[in-house]
Amino acid sequence: MTVADPGNMNEALKKRQFGKPRESVILFVLTLCAAVSLVTTLLIVGVLVRESATFFEEVSFRDFFLETEWQPLFEPVSFGIWELVAGTLMVTFWALLLAVPIGLATAVYLSEYAHPNTRKVLKPILEALAGVPTVVYAYFALTFVTQDLLRPTFGADQVNVFNALSASIMLAVMILPTIASISEDAMANVPRDLREAAYGLGATRLEVAIRVVFPAALSGIIAAILLAIARVVGETMIVAIAAGSTPQLTVNPFEGVQTMTGFMLQVGLGDAARGTVDYQALFAVGMMLFLITLAFNVAAYFFVRRYREEYE
Partner 1 sequence: MASEQLRLRAGGAVARRQLVSRVSRYLFLGATVLGVSILGFLAYDTIDSGASRLSLDFLTNYPSRFAEKAGLRPAMYGTLWLMLITVFSSIPIAIGTAIWIEEFAPRNRLLTIVKINLANLAGVPSIIYGILGLTIFVRFYGMDRSLLAGGFTLALMIIPMTVIASQEAIRQVPPSLRDGALALGATRWQAVRHNVLPNAIPGIMTGTILAISRAVGETAALIMIGGAAFIHFDPGPNLADFADPGGFWAGLNESFTVIPIQIYAWTLDSRREFQANASAGIIVLMTGVMALNLLAALIRERFRRN
Please report whether residue 29 would count as binding partner 1 according to CB under 8 A: yes
Please report whether residue 128 would count as binding partner 1 according to CB under 8 A: yes
Provide, rounded to whole angstroms, the least separation between the CB of residue 192 and partner 1: 19
66/197 with CB nearer partner 1: 197
Please report whether residue 135 would count as binding partner 1 according to CB under 8 A: yes
Q: Which residues pair with 79 in a beta bridge?
A: 70
Residues 183-222 that bind partner 1 (CB under 8 A): 202, 204-207, 209
- Report the distance separating Cα 289 and Cα 261, nearest Å: 8
> If DSSP codes are grouped into helix, strand and coil, which group holds residue 79?
strand
Residues 81-110 that bind partner 1 (CB under 8 A): 101-103, 105-106, 108-110
- Candidate residues 189, 246, 250, 293; the one interacting with partner 1 per rule CB under 8 A: 293
Please report whether residue 113 would count as binding partner 1 according to CB under 8 A: yes
- Candidate residues 10, 11, 30, 276; the one interacting with partner 1 per rule CB under 8 A: 30
Best CA proximity match to 139, nearest among 111, 173, 115? 173
Please report whether residue 43 would count as binding partner 1 according to CB under 8 A: yes
Burial class from Cβ neighbours inside 10 Å (0-12, 13-18, 19+) for residue 8 reads exposed
Best CA proximity match to 237, nearest among 132, 100, 122? 132
Please report whether residue 23 would count as binding partner 1 according to CB under 8 A: yes
- Report the distance separating Cα 267 and Cα 105, nearest Å: 39
- Candidate residues 4, 97, 136, 197; the one interacting with partner 1 per rule CB under 8 A: 136
- Report the distance separating Cα 240 and Cα 233, nearest Å: 12
Please report whether residue 273 would count as binding partner 1 according to CB under 8 A: no
Pairing of strands 78-79, 70-71: antiparallel
Please report whether residue 282 would count as binding partner 1 according to CB under 8 A: yes
Please report whether residue 33 would count as binding partner 1 according to CB under 8 A: yes
